[in-house]
Structure 1
């Protein structure tokens, strides 16, 4: 999004806040952070009340279990603080959050998403700048996974703390590789070679369910990282420059070549992600490039148990200096209201929940950690391997559709689907994307 557009959005959002607050009249005692009688200790001294809004509502979800466990621990260790929750499911929450923030009545701590989703909140001055808390040591960045907060920086300042995380990984059926005396590819040249062998034997080299559109964003995204690196990709997605840059052209061209060489099935655009995953699990495809969610479970509770090799996408010749970067990172975040009457306690709560939610969710297999794991739970070998891959990574960048504005993201995903369907060329993709910023 161009700078001028951002300024306009911020101005409109601020105006909406003023109108909403005026329409709502004066704040109630509760909205101002005044503690009610119910928040007093038996001796009469007042407790601090923190309001928290979030999406953890589905009790059968392993992430919700991790959240509740962390919250229960916080309450036990902070008896002087009362937590007031306001929660809703994902879609309803997003609508409610925007309305609430525009009305100037944000919770002390609220669940949000990085990148473009929270940009207008930050620019409107609603979100607390966390830089001073990093400097004071309240937030210890050294205890977090590398570059995990990339999507929560605005104008080089930190505004959010990470929750769950993932990374794109190349899953390989080791049994098929062994059968044809092949090594798991470490370079693009090797990827093309093993693909030729699998095709000759009637096996799809790399399963893809592009009917759902989002799976096809992964191969393009990692190729863009391979040729451009995290910094250049992040700068581009944040509105710097246009899409006709050399690394984008090379990524689109490489993707088109992968399609032409048959690395992806001709039926990829007709398959859903679940169908493509099943093709891989049934041994009809040798590889599957997707998010790390559920990979640890595949290694235990699927036909590939004990036969699964997981690695990063192959490197490219003459690409970016660092070839150990991943699609992935953290998108969900906890933010603190700049209007909170208890900012210090709110930030400390956000830090506690961010770290403990990371730990408990990782232990249950719900997600990958955003903080370096310090627990002692018994973990599967695959969980440990995935965490070690994250810890050794040079950086992360989310798939482009997560960071682009919705209109550009649609053009991006539709044009890439056209490449997979052999109806759009790499050159046409670049032209369509470049036009979004002219």
Structure 2
């Protein structure tokens, strides 16, 4: 009897072990099956996209673009993350350094993105853009995202330097809109004699004044010389850059700016122009939105957007401008879905180009035949027609082209030129020593 009980206990134990084992196997198989079904049934790819569109109406418009993509591409969904401009610059640099960049990310052409490319963190796009994408873009659209002859980004907007003139004041004092630098100096002196500030400038922020020097240098030396100097292939000691500094100080000496311009911010300067207190404002196409949308503006409808004057004896083509491709999208080299990410980036770039032109936030880098021109501001249209159209070339604002501390060095040196703290020769020498290291 005892032996029978022992046998029965052994049998029961075996049955319990087998049963537990079977249950375990059944559970594992079930889980594996569910995991497989989940993967195959959803089949969805999620692409992360970081951008800086925090303000309205751009923020809502970008969401609409993404929603439309997600509707048209149910198996490839874009999820965006939005960060304010300055904070974003730190965020994207940190993410790229840590190999945690999103699939698609907002960046800036030129020097800002160059370290990402040199570190091998960005996908090369040449082979992806021969599907007709290049044909959809404006001439030179990819120049500023081309490094060592290879394309690494898709630009969606561009900047363009613009001379805004208050037509009412020009007409009132019978002043000709200047097309040469000597005419510009004459206009400055005339307005100064009438008690009108010739140019509104906020040099406290430094970059607004930098646009003046960069533009004059482009007129003196031309696109190729400027790019060669910025790339360290030629010297900033070149006479063209010295002469550009002389021209800038000639404007200061002629009384071009408000007495307190070194302490004014850019916003204060645009407000001064908006109130009709200055005859001219030199800046970027992005300033047009402020002149168009400010409800307190006294100059709306009275502004004309024209090219910066040519310089007698200068080697630059009079159609060249500071600007070109600025905002761009890049794809992480570490993306697990490179093909899908590039396809989405091309879609986003095209729609962002149209959107920014339509709302006045930026100039397009894609052909804009499908944009309803009646909905675009007249200043934007003037800029495209009077500044960008038929231009022979462009160079980005130097703080975009130069990398890291070099950009700030340039802005600081230009500010010293405005304040007459250094001579044109000292400026050129320090630019060469501090930026090109020679």
Aligned partner (choices 392, 410, 428) of residue 412 of structure 1: 410
- Secondary structure of the residue aligned to 1:223 is helix
- Secondary structure of the residue aligned to 1:392 is coil
Match of 1:387?
A: 384
1:175-194 aligned within 5 A? 175-194=168-187
- Give the Å deviation of 1:86: 4.0
Name stretches of at least 5 consecutive residues in structure 2 with no aligned partner: 1-34
- Secondary structure of the residue aligned to 1:290 is strand
Aligned partner (choices 207, 212, 230) of residue 237 of structure 1: 230
- Secondary structure of the residue aligned to 2:64 is helix
Match of 1:46?
A: 43
Distance in 1 (alpha carbons) for counterparts of 2:50 and 2:267: 32
Distance in 2 (alpha carbons) for counterparts of 1:397 and 1:39: 51
1:20-419 aligned within 5 A? 44=41, 46-56=43-53, 58=54, 60-134=55-129, 136-140=130-134, 142-296=135-289, 298-299=291-292, 301=295, 302-377=297-372, 378-388=375-385, 389-419=387-417
- Give the Å deviation of 1:347: 1.2
The 10-residue stretch of structure 1 (245-254 or 93-102) with the greater mean CA deviation from structure 2:
93-102
CA contact (8 A) 1:109 1:337 kept: yes
Aligned partner (choices 403, 423, 426) of residue 424 of structure 2: 426
- Secondary structure of the residue aligned to 1:303 is coil
Deviations along 1:373-394, whole A, 9 cap, x unmatched? Answer: 1334322322322233323322
Name stretches of at least 5 consecutive residues in structure 1 with no aligned partner: 1-35
CA contact (8 A) 2:156 2:329 kept: yes
- Give the Å deviation of 1:429: 0.8
CA contact (8 A) 2:201 2:209 kept: yes
- Give the Å deviation of 1:51: 2.6
The 10-residue stretch of structure 1 (321-330 or 387-396) with the greater mean CA deviation from structure 2:
387-396
Distance in 2 (alpha carbons) for counterparts of 1:115 and 1:261: 34
- Give the Å deviation of 1:297: 5.5
Residues 1:93 and 1:39: Cα distance change in structure 2 (over 3 Å): farther
- Give the Å deviation of 1:152: 1.0
The 10-residue stretch of structure 1 (116-125 or 343-352) with the greater mean CA deviation from structure 2:
116-125
Deviations along 1:143-185, whole A, 9 cap, x unmatched? Answer: 2233233221110211011133222211111111111212111
- Secondary structure of the residue aligned to 2:301 is coil
Match of 1:11?
A: none
- Secondary structure of the residue aligned to 1:239 is coil
Residues 1:197 and 1:149: Cα distance change in structure 2 (over 3 Å): same
Q: TM-score, normalization: structure 1?
A: 0.84
- Give the Å deviation of 1:343: 1.9
Distance in 2 (alpha carbons) for counterparts of 1:92 and 1:321: 37
- Give the Å deviation of 1:219: 0.9
CA contact (8 A) 2:166 2:299 kept: yes
Q: TM-score, normalization: structure 2?
A: 0.84
CA contact (8 A) 1:238 1:403 kept: no
CA contact (8 A) 2:212 2:282 kept: yes
- Give the Å deviation of 1:433: 1.1
Distance in 2 (alpha carbons) for counterparts of 1:37 and 1:238: 53
Q: How many residues align?
A: 397
- Give the Å deviation of 1:404: 1.8
Distance in 2 (alpha carbons) for counterparts of 1:354 and 1:144: 10
